Structure formats: C-alpha cells, structure tokens
Amino acid sequence: MPGILANVDYEEPLTRYRIREVLIEARKRSISYVDKMKHEVLADSFYVHYRQPILRIPAGNEDLETSLWRFVVFTYIRSEAYGDVSRITRLNGRLSRVMAIKLLKVYNSILSKMDRNDSFRQMVESAMDQKNASSRESRMNLEREVRSLINFYVGSMKKVSETVNKVKMLFGDSVGHEIADILLSTDIDPYRLRLISMLNSLIRLIVDTRYTVDVVEDRDAEQVGTIGGVKRMTKASELRDMIPSERMLMKFAKPVFAYKLAMGNVLVRERRAVKKPKIYMLIDKSGSMFYTVNINIFEVGGPLVRSRGPQPWP
C-alpha cells in the first residue's frame, strides 16, 4: 500500500535512500517501534518537511496503523509549530531528517501506549472508525493526545526561523543551516529557547560593532593603550583583543562561544593607558668623585666608573 502523500514516488531510488537514512537515525535515537513501521511512513516523515505535502485520498481498505499515521500527520501540518519548521526545512535534506525523527517519536509514543493500555487502543480504534457513533469524541481526545506529544517532542518554534534568517543575513546560508541544525536538534524546549537568546545576543553584538574580527591570525590593528593582562570583555570594541583560545572557540565551536558571550565570560587582553616614562637623574656628590675631573676617563673605564682616589702611575 502506498504512503499517504500524493506527491512522493515511493519506488524512486532517492526515496529509498532517504528511507534508509531515516531508519538508521531512528535506530540511533532508540525509537522502539521503528522496525515495525512501514517504509512509507519513514518516507512520509521526511517528505512532509522537505516539500509541501499533498495528502492522498484515503483508500476504503486502509488499515488502523495507516489511518492513525494519517491522523498524526494531518494534525501536525495544521499545528503552529509545523508552519515555523517548514520554512526552515524546505528542500534541506539534513534538517528534514532531523524533524522526521521528532515526528516519528510522536507516532512511536502512540503505538507504544496502544500496546500498554487497552482502553487507549479502544479509543484510537473508535476514533479511526467513522461509522462509530462515539468516533467524534474519540477523535477529539486523540487529537489532544497528538497535540500534546507534538508540543513535547517538537516544542515552540516561534523564534527559530527568525533567528536563523538573521544568522543567514550576517554569515551566509551555510552558517545559517548549522544554527538551524543546532536549534532543531535540541530536544528540550527550554534549552532551545536559551540557545536562541544567546544567539540573538551574539547577533546584536556583531551588528553593533564596527570591527572585523580575524579569528585565525592574531594580528590586531593598533589601538590606544598597552597590553597589561587579561580580563572579561565588557564592550564590543574589545572583540579585537580576544585571547587566542577564544578566537578558536569563535571559529570552531560557535555554540560554546555564544554561551560564553551571553554569560559575559569571553576573555580579552586588558589595555592600559599609555603613560610617559619618568627619567630620574642620580648625582653622586661624595668626595671620592672629585678626582674624576682630573683623570682621563678612558683610563678608568668610562664615566660610569667611580674613582676611589688618585690612580697610581704605571
């Protein structure tokens, strides 16, 4: 039986390859029922994010699991979270696979609960049976369950697309995709919101500064003051004075650098104001210095050698 999407060729080699990718990733994530799921379900979980989904008209002999999967997908694409997610994942294979795993977790949780709870299974069966008089109430209960699972596994995506777009404008699409991968891969919603807050702080700091930071070579433009130690950064203009280890974090571990930046723990060289050096002249007025004026200074070692009395003739 084909999948629930009308705009997917389930026999195409590329589709089979993506099914395999989703299956491998799902096994890594310990999705318990993934080996029992139909391959069409794995394909649907990917392509519902990769392209605009077009749902196929259900067949008359559709089995319970396919009907349930259709209900999960239909509820998901009507949710607010999907609207925000789809703007990021469209035509991006990596991000579509990340979100496919989250959607499969929703479906997996329902299958697991059906096996453990007979009353829940009966409610699902009733919801999928259009001829049953109590199906409407059961469908409402099932929809609440699915939405609750979507909120748990997908979470709030309101600010994700906005933050990713800002990063793309500043650093280009490749960095924007990296940031999207980090945000979408974060399973716990409060952590994602905290990452967004840190990234937005970094974006504001970079937008406000007029300096271009060289994150590889330690060549700073000449600035006022002399290096006199290490301190925590307090203003954007101090980005040029980052110590080498912070530069490497900024280049190769952007999330760690963003976290340090948001917490105010980025270390920079401390510049101190330049002061004119003071010159002290010491004059030896002792009596033993009297004879230096009458003796050839080259014979006694120069003006810095103090005479201790008359020198004997050779």
pLDDT for the residue numbered 217: 45
163-201 burial, b if ≥16 CB within 10 A, otherwise e? bbebbbeeeeeeebbbbbbbbbebeeeeebbebbebbbe
Task: Please answer whether residues 243 and 269 qualify as being in contact, where contact means their C-beta atoms are separated by less than 8 angstroms.
Answer: yes
What DSSP state is assigned to residue 132?
A: S
pTM of the entire predicted model: 0.64
pLDDT at residue 242 is higher than 80: yes
Residue 229 sits at φ, ψ, to 5 deg, of 150, -160
**Residue 161 to residue 176: CA distance in whole angstroms:** 10
**Amino acid type, 157:** M
Domain boundaries, the chain: 13-156, 165-208, 280-314
Token reading at 119:
């009353």
**Amino acid type, 283:** I
Task: Please answer whether residues 153 and 192 qualify as being in contact, where contact means their C-beta atoms are separated by less than 8 angstroms.
Answer: no
Task: Please answer whether residues 209 and 237 qualify as being in contact, where contact means their C-beta atoms are separated by less than 8 angstroms.
Answer: yes
Angle, CA 53 vertex, CA 34 and CA 63 arms, to 5°? 50
Q: Identify which has the larger pLDDT, 287 or 292.
A: 287
- Arithmetic mean of pLDDT over the chain: 79
**Residue 145 to residue 264: CA distance in whole angstroms:** 41
What are the tens digits of pLDDT across the range 29-41? 889 999 999 999 9
pLDDT at residue 63 is higher than 60: yes
Instruction: Return the minimum-mean-pLDDT range out of 149-153, 208-212, 307-311.
Output: 307-311
Distant-in-sequence contacts of 17-20, Cβ < 8 A, 24+ apart: 18/43, 18/46, 18/47, 18/93, 18/97, 19/43, 19/46
Token pair 């607010």 is found at 80
CB-CB neighbours of 39 under 10 Å: 15
pLDDT at residue 209 is higher than 60: no
Task: Please answer whether residues 247 and 215 qualify as being in contact, where contact means their C-beta atoms are separated by less than 8 angstroms.
Answer: yes
What are the tens digits of pLDDT across the range 79-132? 988 988 998 999 999 999 999 999 999 999 999 999 999 999 999 999 888 766
User: Exposed, middle or buried: residue 202 (CB in 10 Å: 0-12, 13-18, 19+)?
Assistant: buried
**Amino acid type, 224:** V
